[in-house]
Amino acid sequence: MAFTKEELTTIIADEVKAAVTAAMSGAKAEPGDAANREEKAMLHDDKTVERKYAGIYMLADNSAGGEEKSKLAKGIGWVRAMKSVAQSGGDPDKALYVAQKMYSDDAALHREMKAMSITAPSEGGYLVPEVYAQEVIELLRPLTIIGALHARRVSMPNGNMTIPKLRGGAKAHYIGEKRKGKASGATVGTVKLSAKKLITKVVITNDLLRSNAYGADQMILDDALAAMAERQNAALLNGKGTEYEPKGILNIEDVQRWSVGAMPGNDVTGSMLARLLQKNVRDNGSLGFVLNGYLWEALYNTVNSSGNYVYRASMDEGKLGKYPYFVSDAIGTGKDANEKTSMILGRWSDFIIGDQLGMETRLFDQGTVEDEDGTISAVDDDCSILRIISTHDFGVRHEESFVVAKDIYTKSST
């Protein structure tokens, strides 16, 4: 008798579930008698044993068991898992109960909470399941300069990495038979990465945490993503390069710099590209611009002598000329009359980010945070503080692959 894939999966799932149930109830597992074993287990004094862990080991494709893959948008499961853990006080068994009560139809969430309940806690408490954290990381990438412009990511599990780099001077030449080749004269260096801790704090009103509405979950996710992206972009651009903070691209001494000292003209982007080409930096698919919103406005409204917009058509398609751009307010604007700012063009595959810890999240119902409006108290303001930790470092393999155009006017003095 032939079985379909679905029938075979169901049969195997029933056998595994029955075996686990029998083992936990003290009965001997006999193959081929799943139905009888389940019936006996039901009569056992501890009725909660039945199928408690079965969903962890076998995923059966049947709606009755509720084990199907989540159809929710990515990241929503992370919010729900975080809320369940927070409201349980960090107790994984209570977290499962909270998840089942708040989101009774989210079988995927229940399955992940079950899996978490039988794993050992990490240092400092239980973490949100990794599968959900990966979803958030995927959503975060296009919101950051690193992800949008294709910087090169490398895993750094030990927290340190040394990457060789060729500074220049390598040469090739022809030689005759049995002739000795000349030394290349190349100069080399290294990029040393050492993991540094980035902390992002997000204030979330407890009204959203108490709600099981999908819209509330989406709002929490959006706020968390925006805060993480803003913090990462600020570090990449303006990091001071201390023992505890990576050095941002605007503070790296050897990148190319060019002072414009005027409103952006027809040739500003072309002049930046020319400086890369003069250093033999070619496009490998990762060239891109970074600018702030004030310069975006100035470029969008730049016209040539014929009154035609120079950049508007390409900017409407997300590019400056041929190359993509990313807008970040982490690039500052001066307080002078011309409100001068900077713009970066780079081959971002030469920007290396070493990841040690992708993301760790915890939610606190006590404590305070400081923002531009003063101190926010979790207790007094009926809110919670979401803390997100990641550890990484970054650096540039080839400084000549980046050019910073500075002192660009965003407002004309006339």
**What one-letter code names the amino acid at 374?**
G
pLDDT at 145: 95
Q: What is the pLDDT of residue 230?
A: 93
Q: How would you classify residue 387: left for phi > 0, otherwise alpha for psi between -120 and 50, otherwise beta? A: beta
Distance, in Å, from the CA atom of 10 to the CA atom of 62, rounded to the nearest integer, reads 8
pLDDT at 86: 83
**Pairing outcome for strands 287-291 and 323-327:** parallel
Contact, 228 vs 140, CB < 8 A? yes
The two beta strands, 374-377 and 383-396, are unpaired
Look at residue 114 in the predicted model and tell me its pLDDT.
83
Over the chain (414 residues), the average pLDDT of each successive run of 10 is: 61 66 58 48 42 38 44 90 84 86 92 71 53 86 93 91 71 68 64 92 91 93 93 94 93 95 94 96 95 97 94 96 96 95 97 88 87 86 91 93 97 80
Question: DSSP alpha helices (H): ranges in 255-333?
Answer: 268-277, 293-300, 312-315
Is residue 250 classed exposed, middle or buried when 0-12, 13-18 and 19+ CB atoms within 10 A define those classes? buried
Residues 48, 54, 56, 62: is their CA dihedral positive or negative? negative
User: Could you tell me the domains of the chain?
Assistant: 5-130 (no CATH), 144-414 (3.30.2400.10)
Comparing C-alpha atoms, which of 50, 91, 68 is closest to residue 9?
A: 68
Its pTM stands at 0.75
Q: What pLDDT does 364 receive?
A: 87
Q: Please give the pLDDT value at position 6.
A: 61
Q: Distance between CA atoms of 100 and 113, rounded to whole angstroms?
A: 9
- Provide the CB-side half-sphere exposure for 233 (13 A, CA): 25
- Residue 25: the pLDDT is 60
Output the pLDDT for position 178: 67
Strands (E), 220-340: 256-262, 287-291, 319-320, 323-327
